Structure 1
Amino acid sequence: MSIITLTTDFGTKDHFVGAVKGAIYSELPDAKIVDITHEISPFNITETAYILKNSYKSFPDGTIHIVGVDSELSNDNKHITIELDNHFFVCPDNGLISMIASEINPTKIVEINIHDRIESSFPVLDVFVQVACFIARGGNLTVIGKEIKDYKKLIEIQPKVNQEKNKIIGGVVYIDNYGNVISNISKKMFNSIGRGRRFKVSASRYFFTKIFAKYNEVTGDNAHDSIQYDGSRLAIFNSAGYLEIAIYRSNLETVGGASTLLGLNYRDSITIDFINDSQPDFSPLT
């Protein structure tokens, strides 16, 4: 039996998550349900895209991902099922799939058309669950809708490069549980555009000329006395491969996180300027 994951902005106070799980078990009593998160900021598509991209790959092929963020049906927000990278995504066509599909092209995209039989103000429960269970039973995607060729692109998810290729212009797409600020600039893009040149990362009124591979590298040779570095700001490529502005050993209740201490919020600009220099002092990270 396929695994079915849930990613929503429902939170856990209300009945929504329980109702969705109950509906799945009613259809598939032996289903395996995994909560990725229900703590997406309300209607935050970019945050959803980041979390989904960096979680789905850990699941086995054939996993079905139900995504319930900004899912109310409208002429501008259709419901789709996407087969991509040997996974299935049942979600609104609001751009949240953009970050995943920017590197891997979908195998099949189907616009769900069972709504003429179901009228609902809770489509995750009444529509997405039915579609996910149908796929789990081995159903063909074209039975639940018509195949389409494209999906909605979310432009803000992708960073931009200026014509001279000496600047990457990105932005904040996610703030994690530690208050660390994650941008949409990938290490792959950084190395491709930077080509070993010196650089300056600018975030708010702060800048960085070094990007670490690990958080504790900020302590240098003083790892035995690392407590003196608590609260130090640093830039790092995180485990997902994206540029992150962090506070070393941040604690939101005491030291604070990069978001609050540096005044960085969702959609704020983060840029990298590359310096053309005959003797660069920086080598691309591997």
Structure 2
Amino acid sequence: MALITLTTDFGLKDHFVGAVKGAIYSELPEATIIDITHEITPFNIAETAYILKNAYKSFPKGTIHIVGVDSELSIQNKHIAIYLDDHYFICPDNGIISMIASEINPTKIVEINIHDHIESSFPVLDVFVKVASFIARGGKLDVIGKAIEDYKKMVEIQPKINQEKTIIVGGVIYIDNYGNVISNISKKMFEEIGKDRPFKITARRYTFDKIYTQYNDIVNFESTDIRQFDGKKLALFNSANYLEIAIYRSNLKTVGGASTLLGLDYRDRITVEFINPSTPEFTTI
């Protein structure tokens, strides 16, 4: 039985998601289809990469992931199928796979070439579904495309480190349902560069010199009124191990989230500055 996931920016108002699912069931009546999300911000590659990276690992090996974000075929936006970490990904070659493949090298990548027989303005329906169905039946990637060695890298997903290794310059790549702001700075990078040095995190005019383990670490539960901590800002490494700026018990309809209260948005800069043992003050960016 084929297990196929869908990650798109289609939303749920239009017919697109239903049509794709119907096409899969027409090809594979016994398939199981799982929606990862259809609420990606339109054409947002970094957001897609972040969600996909943190969702796919929960699925069994052999799962086929269809990714439909900015998927219109062009000379600069080819369609690829990838076998990586025992999972299959069918997606445009627009940087979506960068965050996963930066840590795990793909076993095989092919450029899909069945377009010679299909003209479509809806490639997820007309191309990606056929490729997924072919793979689900045991088909080999070499049959549906020519092998290629590389994929398009997305530069903004990768934070930058200065030559002295005292500053990490990252940016906002995702804002979650609570308004929490997720950066592209991983815990692994923070620890490798920081080496237990004191630090200062800067996001717009706000600074943080402590990273919490979980959200409610900011609360003093011995206080007579713990509600006073609602709305406090904090930094932590989230469950995906990326640096996050959050508001405790944030609610976009009442208290607000870090994105609104701190004025942070997609691509805004977040920096981490470390103190060198021989330098008493923070370096200047």
TM over 0.5: yes
1:157-196 equivalence runs, <5 A: 157-196=157-196
Distance 1:163 1:241, change over 3 A: same
**Residue type at the aligned position of 1:263:** G
Q: Deviations over 1:170-203 (max 9, x none)?
A: 0000000000000000000000000000000000
1:220-248 CA distances to partner (integer Å, 9 max, x unpaired)?
A: 45366321100000001000000000000
**1:77 partner letter:** N
Cα separation, partners in 2 of 1:133 and 1:228, compared to 1, 3 Å: same
Aligned mates of 1:134, 1:39 — CA distance in 2: 27
- Match of 1:269, as an amino acid? R
One-letter identity of the residue aligned with 1:76 = Q
Structure 2 gap segments, 5+ residues each: 281-285
Q: What are the Cα deviations for residues 41-77 of structure 1, in whole angstroms up to 9, with x where unaligned?
A: 0000000000000000000000000000000000000
User: Distance in 2 between the 1:223 and 1:134 partners?
Assistant: 60
Q: Secondary structure of 2:225's match?
A: helix
Amino acid at match of 1:182: I
Partner of 1:87: 87
Partner-residue secondary structure (3-state), 1:212: coil
Distance (Å, rounded) in 2 between the aligned partners of 1:269 and 1:162: 15
Q: Which runs of 5+ in 1 are unaligned?
A: 281-286
- What amino acid maps onto 2:88 in structure 1? F
Give the residue type in structure 2 aligned to 1:232. Answer: K
Aligned-residue RMSD, C-alpha: 1.3
1:205 partner amino acid? R
Q: Which runs of 4+ in 1 moved over 6 A?
A: none
Which residue of 2 is the match for residue 283 of structure 1?
A: none
**Number of the residue aligned with 1:254:** 254
Structure 1 Cα separation of the partners of residues 186 and 46 of structure 2: 15
For the residues of structure 1 that align with 2:223 and 2:82, how far apart are their CA atoms? 47
Please state how far the C-alpha of 1:164 moved relative to its aligned partner: 0.2
- Residues 1:116 and 2:134 aligned together: no
Deviation at 1:279, TM superposition (A): 12
Matched, 1:46 2:41: no
| TM-score under structure 1 length normalisation | 0.96
Match of 2:283 in 1: none
State the SS of the aligned residue for 2:228. Answer: helix
**Matching residue of 2:211:** 211
Post-superposition offset of 1:277: 3.3
CA deviations on 1:129-174 (whole Å, 9 max, x unpaired) are 0000100000010000100000000010011110000010000000
For 2:109, the aligned partner's letter is I
Correspondence 1:59 to 2:59: yes
Q: Per-residue deviation at 1:219? A: 1.0
CA distance in structure 1 between the aligned counterparts of 2:2 and 2:119, rounded to whole angstroms: 27
Normalised TM-score (structure 2) = 0.96
Aligned to 1:24: 24
Give the match's secondary structure for 1:234: strand
CA offset digits 1:94-134 (Å, max 9, x no partner): 00100000000000000000001000000000000000010
215-224 or 10-19, which moves further after superposition? 215-224
1:257 Cα deviation after fit:
0.3
Distance in 2 (CA, whole Å) between partners of 1:215 and 1:183 is 16
Count of matched residue pairs: 280
Query: Who is 1:37 aligned against?
Result: 37
Whole-Å Cα distance in 1 between the matches of residues 94 and 29 of structure 2?
A: 31
